[in-house]
Chain A
């Protein structure tokens, strides 16, 4: 075939604040099923990182094993990615951040990877408050092994084959709050506007930001009887609030909201998460209230979404460990190898 060339007028490409176009945040084409909720989440991750202007070279993309864990290959090709072992991404991500605190770490996991095989590591990650975003792409089933229930499947939910789940669901948000997580959000793959705002908020958080995102599995768990399907989520979603994210590098718009109609949460980097009231007053900095809300919404079979809990000043694990400001990987060898006089002193003490 002959190659045709055509002179085209170059449109100036739209770029973000660090001069990158959105394509700089793209990954490989997805190999997931068409219509998978995970791909919708991937798009919002790309959007959030692009709009905030995160340097892709400084991003570490982490995952475990499962459909969700494949997705780091589908965004930000310019970043290093690590597809580790099933349920154990939290420890690998922890080590990564200990070694290089200059990185921006995002981990993508699934409900099996997090709440079944990976429950222990998930809990300890949250306890430590490792600085990273932890996204659970929650569909209630194992996709790669063809549709077995995971630990987040609701009691009474059915598989396509008619199998009924008779065990109680693990609620990742309540659990996260119990574990001391300092940024707990729930969202839905079908609600891009909310999701992107929560992701941006997560980017400006100093500790672990956990996003439990209901992400329907179109192949194995999108049927009537499923409680993780698109239609179920749409019908049962209850918004805690409308969320706007105002990054620290932008002036905060002086919009006047009537008293009690909006609440600003100031993040550690100066950004603001603005929460606008939907039906009720809700203070996401009140931990007890957050737990109560989660329990009552679960009892009412609602899908409660929004910023459920946040503690913007929680101490990150790196501060707990009193780590030096310079990333450990950048320390010159003379800084990490004590001199001969130290060895001599230690030897003298042993004589």
Chain B
């Protein structure tokens, strides 16, 4: 097996090294609940404000306070936003993990650490910078409780000094983070400067890492996927939002609640043009969304794996009775409680056919922030067009991490409210059969409760029914209904977002990825080309049902690797089912550590298969 090339920096004790500019990752190891969120955010934004493409990933425990947490900031001049496996600069603040964190570094890397941790004796192939952060904090602040919080801002100043982050940008970022709290702003700026000053006074630079101003972030935003989805839902005109707290989906419901309160309260009456309900469980959350969708509202719920399991029965009802609603699944590691604060794409098969009996659901798979926004809006159109639950399959990596992207474009197209008949329509038509397929696309017409017409009412049920919504156990009625639902799924095939395909001349190998896995693919393809000379065709799936374009893509490839973040290759299985014989070309690359996918992992897997030694 070929050994993948990794970037290795050999320390040179005479201090002469090639500099590494704008291509590094900083990992901050702190204790959960110690207030490091502010300092990490300030550090990330300071780099971003220097025009350097930046992303931030939070690796946190399922715990309120006291357990280790890591925040990784990547600065990449090439604009790579995926996870970088190697840590270049470790900021070690947590005594619990400091030793292990240091042990796992590649040679030549930097350790900036709390002096008291005494780490320099652990290895002799690293560059150590001890800073007495807590002493600095104690000098600056009398109140012990505050000291711990501000000590974290001191490392921002120190690392800024080492790397060449402009202190003005640190100040701007601090002001932005603490908003109107002037005292906090002043204090934090002071501490950051103390951290920088200490480095200037005591620690000459011995490492090659530098950050230099670029112009690659002008006009860009930094946002997390849950906020992006929340915005998409609001601009999609959602009116009923029901949810039950669960990591990593809670911040979607919370962000949406904040946005709705701010922007969807009627300025004249002070009343809400929306309803948000924190339900008693996920069953009730979906039940409410279904009741609202049945009545004609744009309704949604957001959850993660365990909630999806609980929503199984209701999803079947909404599928069979044909009721629109949108379900966000911010996936985390399962099964069961699993790793609640780690990322995965393990719900694909569940979402595809949630509930008993024959079911199949449209699933939108956003791959970046713009798509989190756009697909969240679009999901409401699709749900109402198709009259069925539509899933938006996000994940923890997309949902809770910080991503740089262009500002979202205002959606200008009118909403698609689907086939809804008003009293006037009924009057003109002279007849109404709720489940009759008049257009051949499998999608029937519906009326809403409250429609003032003798033809309007019908009885909605999860039991067998004929096309007039009457109770039926007749075999032919059941077959007709199930076949129509399948027809509808085929209609959905054309309506859902189509894959993004990038074919390269000479390429015979293909990769298929989706969702957050996409973030590693550009870098992975560059690695395969630059390091191994392998060109790669790439297809990014954006939805289920699978597009007919998939077959054409596989046809032009000799082998196709399906990259995803679950153990069994769930999407690969669906693809193989879809492809039939051509499915033999499919290979699985499965990443299921709970950590975000990194390009190097995929590159190594492809090379191991393509160039076995």
Residues of B within 8 A of A344 (CB): 407, 410
Cα A93 to Cα B294 with chains together (Å)? 10
CB-nearest residue of chain B to A121 = B284
Across the interface, do B274 and A83 meet the contact criterion of CB distance under 8 Å?
A: no
Q: Does B117 count as interface, using CB distance less than 8 angstroms?
A: no
B259 to chain A, nearest CB (A): 8
A41 to chain B, nearest CB (A): 18
Across the interface, do B456 and A80 meet the contact criterion of CB distance under 8 Å?
A: yes
Binds B, one of A241-249, A271-279, A297-305, A330-338: A330-338
Across the interface, do A94 and B453 meet the contact criterion of CB distance under 8 Å?
A: no
Interface residue ranges of B267-288 to A (CB < 8 Å): 269-277, 279-281, 283-288
Q: Does B239 count as interface, using CB distance less than 8 angstroms?
A: yes
Across the interface, do A58 and B288 meet the contact criterion of CB distance under 8 Å?
A: no
Interface string of A276-313 (1 = CB under 8 A from B): 00000000000000000000000000000000000000
Q: Does B51 count as interface, using CB distance less than 8 angstroms?
A: no
Across the interface, do B457 and A80 meet the contact criterion of CB distance under 8 Å?
A: yes
Interface string of A109-120 (1 = CB under 8 A from B): 000000000001
Please pick, from A79, A94, A338, the residue contacting B235 in the complex, using a CB distance under 8 A. A338
Please pick, from A77, A121, A325, A347, the residue contacting B407 in the complex, using a CB distance under 8 A. A347
Across the interface, do B459 and A98 meet the contact criterion of CB distance under 8 Å?
A: no
Interface string of B298-334 (1 = CB under 8 A from A): 1100000000000001100100000000000000000
Cα A342 to Cα B263 with chains together (Å)? 8
Cα A102 to Cα B273 with chains together (Å)? 15
Residues of A within 8 A of B223 (CB): 350
Q: Does A267 count as interface, using CB distance less than 8 angstroms?
A: no
CB-nearest residue of chain A to B415 = A333
Cα A121 to Cα B238 with chains together (Å)? 24
Known: A83-B462, A323-B271. A92 touches B297 (CB 8 A): no
Across the interface, do B317 and A100 meet the contact criterion of CB distance under 8 Å?
A: no
Across the interface, do A92 and B237 meet the contact criterion of CB distance under 8 Å?
A: no
A126 to chain B, nearest CB (A): 12
Q: Does A198 count as interface, using CB distance less than 8 angstroms?
A: no
Interface string of B416-436 (1 = CB under 8 A from A): 000000000000000000000
Interface string of A317-351 (1 = CB under 8 A from B): 00001111101110101011110101110110011
Across the interface, do A324 and B269 meet the contact criterion of CB distance under 8 Å?
A: yes
Known: A84-B287, A324-B272, A350-B221. A96 touches B449 (CB 8 A): yes
Q: Does B206 count as interface, using CB distance less than 8 angstroms?
A: no
Known: A100-B449, A103-B450. A343 touches B235 (CB 8 A): yes
Please pick, from B242, B263, B272, B449, the residue contacting A323 in the complex, using a CB distance under 8 A. B272
Across the interface, do A331 and B239 meet the contact criterion of CB distance under 8 Å?
A: yes
Q: Does A82 count as interface, using CB distance less than 8 angstroms?
A: yes
Interface residue ranges of B355-387 to A (CB < 8 Å): none
Across the interface, do B275 and A328 meet the contact criterion of CB distance under 8 Å?
A: yes
Residues of B within 8 A of A347 (CB): 221, 407-408
A110 to chain B, nearest CB (A): 16
Q: Does A60 count as interface, using CB distance less than 8 angstroms?
A: yes
B217 to chain A, nearest CB (A): 9
Residues of B within 8 A of A59 (CB): 449
Interface string of A77-108 (1 = CB under 8 A from B): 11111111100101111111111101100000
Cα A97 to Cα B277 with chains together (Å)? 12
Across the interface, do B452 and A57 meet the contact criterion of CB distance under 8 Å?
A: yes
Across the interface, do A336 and B239 meet the contact criterion of CB distance under 8 Å?
A: yes
Cα A168 to Cα B332 with chains together (Å)? 41
B261 to chain A, nearest CB (A): 10
A333 to chain B, nearest CB (A): 5
Cα A337 to Cα B293 with chains together (Å)? 18
Across the interface, do B221 and A329 meet the contact criterion of CB distance under 8 Å?
A: no
Interface string of A247-264 (1 = CB under 8 A from B): 000000000000000000
Across the interface, do A82 and B221 meet the contact criterion of CB distance under 8 Å?
A: no
Known: A83-B461, A98-B288, A324-B273. A337 touches B237 (CB 8 A): yes
Cα A197 to Cα B124 with chains together (Å)? 88
Interface residue ranges of B447-486 to A (CB < 8 Å): 447-454, 456-463, 471
Please pick, from A77, A83, A98, the residue contacting B297 in the complex, using a CB distance under 8 A. A98
CB-nearest residue of chain B to A70 = B471
Question: Which among B447, B452, B453 has the greatest number of chain A C-beta atoms within 10 A?
Answer: B452
Across the interface, do A121 and B295 meet the contact criterion of CB distance under 8 Å?
A: no
CB-nearest residue of chain B to A79 = B457
Q: Does A223 count as interface, using CB distance less than 8 angstroms?
A: no
Q: Does A124 count as interface, using CB distance less than 8 angstroms?
A: yes
B403 to chain A, nearest CB (A): 11
Residues of A within 8 A of B277 (CB): 94, 98, 321
Please pick, from A79, A83, A92, A333, the residue contacting B463 in the complex, using a CB distance under 8 A. A83
Residues of A within 8 A of B292 (CB): 95-96, 98-99, 328
Q: Does A189 count as interface, using CB distance less than 8 angstroms?
A: no
Residues of B within 8 A of A94 (CB): 277, 284, 287-288, 291
Question: Which among B298, B408, B452, B461 has the greatest number of chain A C-beta atoms within 10 A?
Answer: B461
Interface residue ranges of B21-43 to A (CB < 8 Å): none
Residues of A within 8 A of B287 (CB): 84-85, 88, 90-92, 94-95, 121
Q: Does A73 count as interface, using CB distance less than 8 angstroms?
A: yes
Across the interface, do A100 and B297 meet the contact criterion of CB distance under 8 Å?
A: yes
Q: Does B290 count as interface, using CB distance less than 8 angstroms?
A: yes
Cα A123 to Cα B461 with chains together (Å)? 24
Across the interface, do A95 and B449 meet the contact criterion of CB distance under 8 Å?
A: no
Please pick, from B234, B275, B296, B407, the residue contacting A321 in the complex, using a CB distance under 8 A. B275
Residues of A within 8 A of B284 (CB): 88, 90-91, 94, 120-121, 124
Q: Does B249 count as interface, using CB distance less than 8 angstroms?
A: no
Across the interface, do B295 and A95 meet the contact criterion of CB distance under 8 Å?
A: yes
Across the interface, do B460 and A81 meet the contact criterion of CB distance under 8 Å?
A: yes
Cα A124 to Cα B296 with chains together (Å)? 23
Interface string of B382-426 (1 = CB under 8 A from A): 000000000000000000000000011010001100000000000
A36 to chain B, nearest CB (A): 17
Known: A80-B456, A85-B313, A100-B295. A60 touches B273 (CB 8 A): no
Residues of B within 8 A of A96 (CB): 291-292, 294-295, 449
Residues of A within 8 A of B524 (CB): none
B470 to chain A, nearest CB (A): 9
Cα A55 to Cα B279 with chains together (Å)? 31
Q: Does B73 count as interface, using CB distance less than 8 angstroms?
A: no
Residues of B within 8 A of A58 (CB): 450
Residues of B within 8 A of A82 (CB): 291, 294, 459-461
Across the interface, do A95 and B459 meet the contact criterion of CB distance under 8 Å?
A: no
Please pick, from A83, A102, A121, the residue contacting B459 in the complex, using a CB distance under 8 A. A83
Residues of A within 8 A of B294 (CB): 82, 92, 95-96, 99
Across the interface, do A100 and B273 meet the contact criterion of CB distance under 8 Å?
A: no
Across the interface, do A91 and B288 meet the contact criterion of CB distance under 8 Å?
A: yes
Q: Does B266 count as interface, using CB distance less than 8 angstroms?
A: yes
CB-nearest residue of chain A to B295 = A99
Cα A64 to Cα B235 with chains together (Å)? 34
Q: Does B211 count as interface, using CB distance less than 8 angstroms?
A: no
Interface residue ranges of B212-271 to A (CB < 8 Å): 219-223, 231, 234-240, 242, 259, 263-264, 266, 269-271
CB-nearest residue of chain B to A69 = B461
A81 to chain B, nearest CB (A): 4
- 7 nearest CB pairs, A to B: A95-B291, A91-B287, A99-B297, A95-B288, A99-B295, A80-B449, A95-B292
| 8 residue pairs bridging A and B, Cβ less than 8 Å apart | A80-B459, A91-B286, A94-B287, A95-B292, A120-B284, A325-B269, A336-B264, A350-B407
A81-B457, A336-B264 known; 10 new pairs, CB 8 Å cut-off, are A62-B291, A80-B459, A80-B460, A82-B294, A91-B283, A98-B297, A100-B295, A343-B408, A350-B223, A351-B221
Chain A residues with a Cβ under 8 A of chain B: 55-60, 62, 72-73, 77-85, 88, 90-100, 102-103, 120-121, 123-124, 321-325, 327-329, 331, 333, 335-338, 340, 342-344, 346-347, 350-351
